[in-house]
Each structure stands twice: as C-alpha cells, then as structure tokens.
Amino acid sequence: MHSEAFRWDSSEPLMLRRVRPEHNERRFYALSVTADLFGNAVLMRYWGRIGTGGKQREELHGDFASASASLQLLARKRRRRGYVAFVVG
C-alpha cells in the first residue's frame, strides 16, 4: 500500500501523473471531494494528456466518507498503473 494515499489533504485535489516518453505518453489524473449546493458530497475526476484541458466527471455520494473512500480506491488503481503524486506550483 502506498503511503501517499494517507497524506492526502482533503482541502486540496490529489494530483497524479504518468510520464513515459518512450511511449509518447504524458497524462494527468486529478481527484477532489467537494460539496454541491445541496450539501451532497461530489467526487470530481479530471484526466487527460498534460497540456490539454482533458475531461471531467462528477460522481455524487451520500456522504463525504464514501466519496473519500472512492477517491482512495481510484488513487490506488491509478498508482498501480504507474501514476505518481505531484505538487502543482
């Protein structure tokens, strides 16, 4: 299990990337949990090629605990596929 998953600060998006020049591959994946206007937890997912706008998807959850658990699961899957965490700045 990767320790980065447990250091994630829920106020900031979790940013992941995978860069493999030999495959001409430069991808990003971002996850965050926010609230909608009605107080529901929303897991926001953004992905695409670095340098593009990418795509996004919103998943509604009943509470923040389930949204956070889903975020952790997706992050683990991405890390198994070679994505690593990074800080934007």
87 pLDDT tier (thresholds 50, 70, 90): confident
Which residue range forms the structural domain that includes residue 18?
3-85
pLDDT of 89 reads 65
Task: Return the residue matching tokens 């009943």.
Answer: 62
Number of structural domains the chain divides into: 1
Over residues 11-59, the pLDDT tens digits come to: 688 999 999 999 999 999 999 999 999 989 999 999 999 999 999 999 9
Tell me how many degrees the CA angle 39-53-2 measures, rounded to the nearest 5. Answer: 65
Task: Return the residue matching tokens 């829920």.
Answer: 10
Quote the pTM value: 0.81
Domain harbouring 64, CATH code: 2.20.140.10
